[in-house]
Amino acid sequence: MKFSIQVNEGPYTHQAADTAYQFTKAALENGHEIFRVFFYHDGVNNGTMYGVPPQDDRNVQSLWSELAEQHELDLVVCVAAAQRRGIMDEDESKRHGKGASNIAPGFRISGLGQLIEAGIESDRLMVFGD
Protein backbone atom coordinates (compact mmCIF):
# COMPACT_ATOMS: atom_id res chain seq x y z
CA MET A 1 0.00 0.00 0.00
CA LYS A 2 1.08 3.53 -0.66
CA PHE A 3 1.04 5.63 2.50
CA SER A 4 1.69 9.25 3.29
CA ILE A 5 2.33 10.42 6.81
CA GLN A 6 1.41 13.73 8.41
CA VAL A 7 3.25 14.62 11.63
CA ASN A 8 1.58 17.36 13.65
CA GLU A 9 3.63 17.42 16.84
CA GLY A 10 7.25 18.16 17.57
CA PRO A 11 9.63 15.65 19.10
CA TYR A 12 9.76 14.84 22.87
CA THR A 13 6.72 16.78 24.14
CA HIS A 14 4.36 14.32 22.51
CA GLN A 15 4.92 10.71 21.56
CA ALA A 16 3.22 11.37 18.21
CA ALA A 17 6.51 12.00 16.41
CA ASP A 18 7.99 8.72 17.71
CA THR A 19 4.84 6.81 16.75
CA ALA A 20 4.86 8.34 13.29
CA TYR A 21 8.51 7.37 12.90
CA GLN A 22 7.88 3.82 14.10
CA PHE A 23 4.86 3.45 11.82
CA THR A 24 6.84 4.73 8.84
CA LYS A 25 9.73 2.38 9.58
CA ALA A 26 7.42 -0.62 10.08
CA ALA A 27 5.53 0.15 6.88
CA LEU A 28 8.77 0.26 4.89
CA GLU A 29 10.04 -2.95 6.50
CA ASN A 30 6.81 -4.65 5.50
CA GLY A 31 7.17 -3.73 1.88
CA HIS A 32 4.83 -0.74 1.77
CA GLU A 33 5.62 2.47 0.00
CA ILE A 34 5.85 5.84 1.75
CA PHE A 35 5.00 8.51 -0.78
CA ARG A 36 5.83 11.39 1.56
CA VAL A 37 6.15 12.41 5.20
CA PHE A 38 4.74 15.89 5.75
CA PHE A 39 5.55 17.88 8.90
CA TYR A 40 3.00 20.46 10.00
CA HIS A 41 2.20 22.57 13.09
CA ASP A 42 4.92 21.93 15.71
CA GLY A 43 5.80 18.83 13.70
CA VAL A 44 8.21 21.02 11.75
CA ASN A 45 10.50 20.84 14.81
CA ASN A 46 11.29 17.26 13.83
CA GLY A 47 13.33 18.87 11.06
CA THR A 48 15.90 20.80 13.08
CA MET A 49 19.50 19.59 13.06
CA TYR A 50 20.18 21.23 16.42
CA GLY A 51 18.39 18.75 18.65
CA VAL A 52 20.86 17.30 21.15
CA PRO A 53 19.02 15.05 23.61
CA PRO A 54 20.93 13.27 26.40
CA GLN A 55 23.01 10.35 25.15
CA ASP A 56 20.79 7.70 26.72
CA ASP A 57 17.71 9.08 24.94
CA ARG A 58 16.66 8.60 21.32
CA ASN A 59 17.35 11.43 18.91
CA VAL A 60 14.07 11.76 17.04
CA GLN A 61 15.37 14.19 14.45
CA SER A 62 18.38 12.01 13.60
CA LEU A 63 16.19 8.91 13.37
CA TRP A 64 14.16 10.62 10.65
CA SER A 65 17.32 11.69 8.80
CA GLU A 66 18.72 8.17 8.95
CA LEU A 67 15.47 6.61 7.77
CA ALA A 68 15.32 9.13 4.92
CA GLU A 69 18.81 8.22 3.84
CA GLN A 70 18.16 4.47 3.96
CA HIS A 71 14.90 4.61 2.03
CA GLU A 72 15.18 7.84 0.02
CA LEU A 73 12.18 9.16 1.93
CA ASP A 74 10.63 12.47 0.97
CA LEU A 75 10.53 14.43 4.25
CA VAL A 76 8.75 17.73 3.69
CA VAL A 77 8.52 20.54 6.22
CA CYS A 78 5.67 23.01 5.66
CA VAL A 79 7.18 26.37 4.77
CA ALA A 80 4.56 28.57 6.48
CA ALA A 81 4.64 26.51 9.68
CA ALA A 82 8.46 26.39 9.54
CA GLN A 83 8.83 30.14 9.11
CA ARG A 84 6.70 30.76 12.19
CA ARG A 85 8.84 28.39 14.22
CA GLY A 86 12.29 29.18 12.89
CA ILE A 87 13.11 26.13 10.80
CA MET A 88 15.06 27.25 7.75
CA ASP A 89 17.10 25.87 4.91
CA GLU A 90 19.86 27.93 3.36
CA ASP A 91 17.64 29.68 0.80
CA GLU A 92 15.04 30.62 3.39
CA SER A 93 17.70 31.78 5.79
CA LYS A 94 19.24 34.08 3.19
CA ARG A 95 15.89 35.41 2.05
CA HIS A 96 14.96 36.39 5.61
CA GLY A 97 18.41 37.76 6.46
CA LYS A 98 19.17 35.12 9.07
CA GLY A 99 22.67 33.95 9.82
CA ALA A 100 22.37 30.22 9.42
CA SER A 101 20.13 27.40 8.35
CA ASN A 102 19.10 24.64 10.72
CA ILE A 103 17.23 22.08 8.66
CA ALA A 104 18.32 18.50 9.29
CA PRO A 105 19.73 16.28 6.51
CA GLY A 106 17.08 14.57 4.40
CA PHE A 107 14.41 17.21 5.05
CA ARG A 108 13.24 19.78 2.54
CA ILE A 109 11.00 22.81 2.88
CA SER A 110 7.96 23.17 0.66
CA GLY A 111 4.34 24.28 0.62
CA LEU A 112 1.03 22.89 1.84
CA GLY A 113 0.24 21.77 -1.68
CA GLN A 114 2.59 18.89 -0.97
CA LEU A 115 0.23 17.69 1.76
CA ILE A 116 -2.80 17.85 -0.50
CA GLU A 117 -0.88 16.08 -3.26
CA ALA A 118 0.12 13.39 -0.74
CA GLY A 119 -3.57 12.91 0.09
CA ILE A 120 -4.46 12.58 -3.57
CA GLU A 121 -1.59 10.29 -4.57
CA SER A 122 -1.58 7.91 -1.60
CA ASP A 123 -3.93 5.08 -0.70
CA ARG A 124 -3.91 6.28 2.91
CA LEU A 125 -2.87 9.48 4.62
CA MET A 126 -2.03 8.75 8.25
CA VAL A 127 -2.16 11.70 10.65
CA PHE A 128 -0.13 11.62 13.86
CA GLY A 129 -0.57 14.18 16.60
CA ASP A 130 -3.12 15.86 18.79
Partner 1 sequence: MTEKTFVYLNRKAPYGSVYALESLEVVLIGAAFEQNVKLIFIDDGVYQLTKGQKTDGIGMKNFSPTFSALGDYDVNQIYVDEQSLKDRGLTMDDLQALTYEDEDDDWAEKNSMHLVNREQIAELIGDADVLLNF
Nearer to partner 1, 1 or 80 (CB): 80
Any contact of residue 1 with partner 1 (CB under 8 A)?
Answer: no
Helix, coil or strand: residue 52: coil
Q: According to CB under 8 A, which one of 21, 35, 40, 64 is a site residue for partner 1?
A: 40
d(CA 94, CA 12): 29
Kindly state the smallest distance separating residue 7's Cβ from partner 1, in Å: 13
The active-site residue out of 78, 109, 118, 125 is 78
Cβ neighbour number for residue 14 with a 10 Å cutoff: 17
Any contact of residue 26 with partner 1 (CB under 8 A)?
Answer: no
- Residue 78: active-site member: yes
Any contact of residue 116 with partner 1 (CB under 8 A)?
Answer: yes
Burial of 17 (0-12, 13-18, 19+ CB in 10 A): buried
* Site mask for partner 1 (CB under 8 A), range 94-113, x = bound: -----------------xxx
Any contact of residue 119 with partner 1 (CB under 8 A)?
Answer: yes
Closest CA to 73 of 116, 128, 24, 111: 24
CA dist list (Å): 59 to 4, 21, 123? 22, 11, 30
The contact set with partner 1 (CB under 8 A) reads 6, 40-41, 80-81, 84, 111-113, 115-117, 119-120, 125, 127, 130
